[in-house]
Structures are given as C-alpha cells and as structure tokens.
C-alpha cells in the first residue's frame, strides 16, 4: 500500500507514516497513521544517514 510519495514525518526518536482521508478507512476514522520508534528499526538503519544519527 506504500507508494513512492508516501507521507511521513520525523518526530523525537520516531517517525510516523500517515495516509490521506479515504485512502485506507472512512472519513469518520480520521487520518490513519503509524508511529515507529527508531529503536525498533535500528538494526536496519545506516548510521551515517540522517535517520541513523537520531538513534544515539
């Protein structure tokens, strides 16, 4: 369901992925989003990239 222009944001030690209205669920449910902790994916992150520096 992800696409090349996926909406996301970076927060304190986490990043969020969100979808537009009607993309996954009805309007009444609001904007669906998923927050993923840096520590949950730290084994997959390259240290010298921006997201890798957040895990320290």
With 70 as the cut, is the pLDDT of residue 29 above it?
yes
Assign 55 a pLDDT band (cuts: 50, 70, 90): low
Domain residue limits at 29: 7-54
Tokens of 51: 């997201």
- Whether 14 maps to a domain, the answer reads yes
* Ranges 4-8, 17-21, 27-31: which has the least confidence: 4-8
How many Å separate Cα 56 from the centre of its chain? 18
Instruction: Please list the alpha-helical segments (H only) found in 6-55.
Output: 50-54
How many domains are contained in the chain?
1
Q: In the prediction, which pLDDT does 52 show? A: 56
pTM check: above 0.85? no
- Whether 1 maps to a domain, the answer reads no
């Amino acid at each position: 369901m992800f696409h090349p222009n996926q909406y996301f944001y970076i927060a304190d030690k986490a990043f969020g992925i969100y979808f537009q209205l009607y993309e996954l669920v009805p309007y009444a449910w609001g904007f669906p989003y998923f927050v993923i902790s840096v520590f949950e994916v730290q084994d997959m992150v390259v240290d010298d990239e921006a997201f890798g520096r957040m895990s320290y």
